[in-house]
Amino acid sequence: MRPLFVRRARQLVTLAGSSAAPLVGEQMSNLSIIENGSVWIENGTITAVGPDDELVRRFADRLAEAEVIDARGKTVTPGLVDPHTHLVYAGSREHEWTMRLGGATYMEIMNAGGGIHATTKATREASEETLYEESKRRLDQFLLHGVTTVEAKSGYGLSLEHEIKQLNVAKRLDDTHPVDVVSTFLGAHAVPPEWKHDREEYIRLIIEEMIPEVSRQGLAEFNDVFCERGVFTPDEARRILEAGKAHGLTPKIHADEIEPYGGAELAAEVGAISADHLLRASDEGLRRMAERGVIGVLLPGTAFFLLTNAAHARRLLDAGVPVALATDCNPGSSPTVSLPLVMSLACLHMRMTPAEALAAATINAAHAIGRAHVIGSLELGKKADLVVFNVPNYVQIMYYYGVNHAETVIKDGKVVVAGGKVRV
Ligand code: NIG
Ligand code: FE
């Protein structure tokens, strides 16, 4: 493989120096930007990062053999990392959106058999091949927006057979698609209709059958629970997350989205790597999260799409909770793949600064899925995952909102998007 030399970015945003622990508070404003910066890449790995003249001197005798990407006037960042998605699903739910726009609530629709239940039905009925094809199209779209790693949850199978089918699709995508896919088991996304009258039996199935089998087959790294009134209680969530821990699955949690429910507290208690949503998290819950270093994954696209107020990021930042951002890409509450749009919303609706939003969608997002040692910043030895945005500074990625500025995407040292088109 020829070396790849990304040269002379107007802003090379490296986020260097934050691989050991997630950024908190004021640290989130320090992006370590190099002007007229360049990156030398060999065999999929970053071998040098610095001002262009320095790298030119250092690699003078090898310049002729390198493939050069000219980033003059543009902004180069680490590949974006999306730490919370429901990538693998079948079907679509725009009819529910029309109902919500007319005044129905998300929970009302779900309790009437729509919502997660509707997608579960469609996902169960879909063949593995259809599920793969539909999810692959979404993954291409992620890549086109500059996202090079996504976390992907199950949770639309809700039986051993169909949860495994979903996780198998995620694994195949990870194996075949340039985007890296990191899997989370979310058997506790909802109690499926067949167990509605015996929820305890469904929880037993999760704990005694699904978790052991998912872990035995190595199909997930994380274990998540939708902890919300009417879905899973904090006590149920605790049992499920502890069971996962006993099988080597690290806890994550959908917490305090709709009402304060003790989710943030539980995340700290079980030592979750992240607690996600957090719109209604209590001050005490946030304090405990900060103490245990639990990352708060905020999902402003979901609040926007559900017509609710977003989480107030400053509350988390002031409490010392490390913040990451994610799309929550799913067919009901956030049908988007645009992490850059989510970054704009984080600034507009959550009061984050553009610098914080970028740190939250790169290095802190990498921490939220246990990958900060390999991705999330542009540093010696890390995977060469980079995005060239066709804007002169990183703020414009978010300022000119709703527009895809990603022009070139490099994954593992290979140009996989060029001129805004997937090239595989
Ligand atoms: O993260 N909150 C629970 N689950 C998803 C929504 C899933 C769906 O509506 O299909 C979420 O928002
Ligand atoms: Fe979610």
pLDDT by residue (tens digit) across 368-380? Answer: 999 999 999 999 9
Query: What tens digit of pLDDT does each residue of 387-423 get?
Result: 999 999 999 999 999 999 999 999 999 999 999 899 9
Give me the residues near ligand 2 (ion), CB cutoff below 5 Å.
Answer: 328
Residue 226 and residue 117 in one domain: yes
* For ligand 1, mutation pick of 85, 86, 87 (most atoms within 8 Å of CB): 86
Distance between Cα 21 and ligand 1 center (Å): 28
Question: What's the pLDDT score for residue 311?
Answer: 86
Q: 301 CB under 6 A from ligand 1? A: no
CA-based angle 142:302:291, to the nearest 5? Answer: 95
Ligand 1 atom closest to Cα of residue 334: 12
CATH code, domain with 407: 2.30.40.10
Residue 57 and residue 94 in one domain: no
Strand extents, DSSP E, 118-160: 147-153
Residue 356 and residue 407 in one domain: no
Say which amino acid occupies 404: N
> Which of 348, 369, 390 marks a domain boundary?
369
> Which of 369, 391, 406 marks a domain boundary?
369
Residue span of the structural domain in which 253 resides: 80-369
The model carries a pTM of 0.98
Number of domains forming the structure of the chain: 2
Residue 322 and residue 380 in one domain: no
Residue 70 and residue 180 in one domain: no
Q: What is the mean pLDDT of each run of 10 residues along the chain (424 residues)?
A: 97 97 98 98 98 98 98 99 98 97 96 96 98 98 98 98 98 98 98 97 98 99 98 98 99 97 98 98 98 98 95 96 98 98 98 98 98 98 98 98 98 96 87
Query: What tens digit of pLDDT does each residue of 326-381 get?
Result: 999 999 999 999 999 999 999 999 999 999 999 999 999 999 999 999 999 999 99
Residue 34 and residue 92 in one domain: no
Residue 74 and residue 85 in one domain: no
Question: What's the pLDDT score for residue 188?
Answer: 98
Residue 46 and residue 118 in one domain: no
Say which amino acid occupies 145: H
Residue 222 and residue 173 in one domain: yes
Which residue's CA is the closest to the ligand 1 atom numbered 12? 333
Paired with 422 in beta bridges are: 417
CATH code, domain with 304: 3.20.20.140
Distance between Cα 361 and ligand 2 center (Å): 16
Residues 6 or more apart in contact with residue 419 via CB below 8 angstroms: 407, 408
Residue 362 and residue 393 in one domain: no
Residues 6 or more apart in contact with residue 268 via CB below 8 angstroms: 285, 288, 289, 291, 292, 294
Residue 269 and residue 191 in one domain: yes
Residue 29 and residue 140 in one domain: no
3-state secondary structure of 84: coil
Distance between Cα 409 and ligand 2 center (Å): 26
